[in-house]
Amino acid sequence: MNTRQTALLMLSFPLSIVAEANSTFFSDSSASVLLHNYYFDRDFKDPANPALKRELREWAQGVTLDFKSGYTEGPLGFGVDLHSMTGIKLDSSPDRSGTQLLPLDSKGRAEDDYSSFGGVVKMRYKQSKINAGRMVLNLPIAYSSPGRLLPQTFQGVTFQSEDIQDVVLMTGYLDRIKFRDSSNYENIRVTPQNGRFIDADSSGFTYVGAKYKATPNFNASYYHATLNDIYRQDYLWLVHDLPVGPGKLKTDFRWVKSGEDGAANGGKVDNDNFGVVFRYTLGGNTFSTGYMALFGDTAQPYMGRSEPSPTVEGAISTDFLNAKERTWQVRWDYDFAAQGIPGLTAMLWHMRGNNIELPQRMGGSDLYERESQAQVAYVIQSGALKGLGFKVRQAWYRNDFTQAATFRDNNDLRVNILYSWKLW
């Protein structure tokens, strides 16, 4: 086959999909716009150091356009999902930039705007689907964090099947990641925070997983993931709901086992993470308490400039995944719908970790860290502005690490305004 024939074949493939597209392809499609206004203010409280910024404070507007097609008819259905993400600077300066809301130039100044365009070609056979392209993922081992203006996106191929009742099977290969404050795709690497691992790139990330709904009240998930030549990871997640008295008790147990892979370019990896959280819901109240313990010689690894969600739910200034760390948490959530005010929620949360082991230059052994949060959120329930949401969250983080450590004492304020508009 010559070059001309190859070009004609590549051109004919998408055209053939359009030719096959019918009412299902278009009638099952959807499009939406998400507007995200984000104010970030982090005030550091550690001793003065001229080499370190005393505050990070920026304000930005995000715009995300999403289009999802249906599938063409027939045994094999084809479709496309497309997204466009844009971030716009509203306020910043070089002395307080670096919030990860906006990319920085070579002089440390925030760019006026940035954007990216991506999407996937998708195929469906019965209840099995393949996506190839650039996508947002919500897996515990590959997570597109919503913690900034725009989420991370991954480039690769994923497969998911629901052909077996109550079972979801999945696998995937990812070779590039776009950070939440960038327009460019880069190699995936391991996080080096607090001197845990060598900041090394990987050739790719692979995973397999399964979710099983054993009963209406019990769900089990398992994942095996490998960041090539850096780490491998097994993730077991069990969730059980049980009526207890007038309320409901949810037990959330997670075990994550990590070790080095292949050439171990990120250095030694040896970690077991056991965690459990109990949540009791009664009326509008949800009371939570939990404990997490890390064993082994190193911290728990995860993708660089990402988040280890949802191992630790809620933390915004740290990750509580240092070597030997032991943590406990208490949390209270309230849904004011119980008082006749739907859409209004509040949260108080505290987590403390101790027995931390870091490199000597960052503090050594028997260290601690703690984070507390207060949050109020409201989503308008009706009228012309239905769906417009407001969230204000204040966090306080403290530790006894040295200034060489990644995480620094700070007070953190975030204000989010979100509005999603369904085009069709």
Q: Which of 145, 132, 217, 133 is nearest to 180 (CA)?
A: 145
| Residue type, position 391, single letter | K
Rounded CA-CA distance 382/45 in Å is: 42
Annotated domain spans of the chain:
126-422
Give residue for tokens 């949260």. 347
Cis bond leading into 310, ω under 30°?
A: yes
Instruction: Report the run of H or E that residue 18 belongs to, with start and end.
Output: helix 3-20
Q: Which of 314, 321, 380, 383 is nearest to 349 (CA)?
A: 314
**Can you give the pTM of this predicted structure?**
0.91
Q: Is 23 left (phi over 0), alpha (psi -120 to 50) or beta?
A: alpha
Going residue by residue through the chain (424 aa), what tens digit of pLDDT does each one get? 443 343 333 334 444 555 454 568 888 999 999 999 999 999 999 876 777 899 999 999 999 999 999 999 889 999 999 999 999 999 999 999 999 999 999 999 999 999 999 999 999 999 999 999 999 999 999 999 888 999 999 999 999 999 999 999 999 999 999 999 999 999 999 988 899 999 999 999 999 999 999 999 999 999 999 999 999 999 999 999 999 999 999 999 999 999 999 999 999 999 999 999 999 999 999 999 999 999 999 999 999 877 776 566 678 889 999 999 999 999 999 999 999 999 999 999 999 999 999 999 999 999 999 999 999 999 999 999 999 999 999 999 999 999 888 899 999 999 999 999 999 9
Rg (CA), the chain: 23
Rounded CA-CA distance 255/356 in Å is: 19
Q: Looking at the structure, give the CATH architecture of the domain made up of residues 126-422.
A: Beta Barrel (2.40)
Rounded CA-CA distance 106/126 in Å is: 50
Q: Running DSSP on this structure, what letter comes out for residue 111? A: P
Give residue for tokens 């999902």. 81
Give the N- to C-terminal CA distance of the chain in Å, as an integer.
Answer: 43
